[in-house]
Structure 1
Amino acid sequence: MNIGSAIKSIRKERGFSQKDFAIECGLSVNALCQIEINSSFPQKNTIKLICEKLNIPVSYLLFFSINDEDIPEDKRKTFNSLNTAIKEILLDDIDKSYTNI
């Protein structure tokens, strides 16, 4: 699970700098950096707060966090073939919800 990379990707999609987003979430820049490089795993309440600030459901973030190591080897081909399409749909949904704030 690569939750930090998912946070970073969606944060950038939203146009937040790391510093501004850290402030928005009440985190230090160092703490957010450690999360985004997957050096530390955020607590449940931090994940919830980050998702609120990104205006996405926690389930979206968790889906974007899945990597090949999380999928059984015999299911990876199927997952990877669907993964891109699903992410495009979710990103489109995220973009629509974000512009309706």
Structure 2
Amino acid sequence: MDQLDVKVLFGARVRHLRKEQGFSQEDFAHRVGLDRSYMGGVERGERNISLENICLIARALNLPVSQIFIGWTDVAPPENTPEE
């Protein structure tokens, strides 16, 4: 895999975990407490997300923060797929 932007890698990992748990992007954003368009930007790697928001995402996924980063480079980022 080519070296990708960490924001893209993180966003792909969040999208993978969200889908794995069966959340739509809108429902997940509500659960996290962030706007859906912001979460879309995170998943597309457009946002340089804060540590506070990473913690909110981990809590919404019922995962320790460290779990988000385990295997995160193994998740292929989406190729300009439309938001869900």
Question: Which TM-score tier does this pair reach, normalised by the shorter chain?
Answer: 0.7 to 0.9
How far 1:66 sits from its partner (Å)?
2.7
The reply on whether 1:22 has 2:68 as its aligned counterpart is no
- In angstroms, what is the RMSD of aligned CA positions? 1.2
**What TM-score results when the alignment is normalised by the length of structure 2?**
0.74
Stretch moving more, 57-66 or 21-30: 57-66
Flag as ranges the 4+ runs of structure 1 deviating above 3 A: none
* TM, length-normalised to structure 1: 0.62
- The answer to whether residue 61 in structure 2 is matched with residue 51 in structure 1 is no
Amino acid at match of 2:64: P
Instruction: Show structure 2 runs of 5+ residues with no match.
Output: 1-5, 75-84
Aligned residues: 67
Q: Give me the whole-angstrom Cα distance separating, in 2, the residues matched to 1:46 and 1:16.
A: 18
Per-residue deviation, 1:58: 1.0
Question: Once the 2 structures are TM-superposed, how far is the Cα of residue 5 of structure 1 from its aligned partner?
Answer: 0.4
- What are the ranges of 5 or more consecutive residues in structure 1 without an aligned counterpart? 68-101
Q: Residue 68 of structure 2 corresponds to which residue in structure 1?
A: 61
The structure with the largest alpha-carbon Rg is: 1
Which structure has the higher relative contact order (CA within 8 Å, separation 6+)? 2
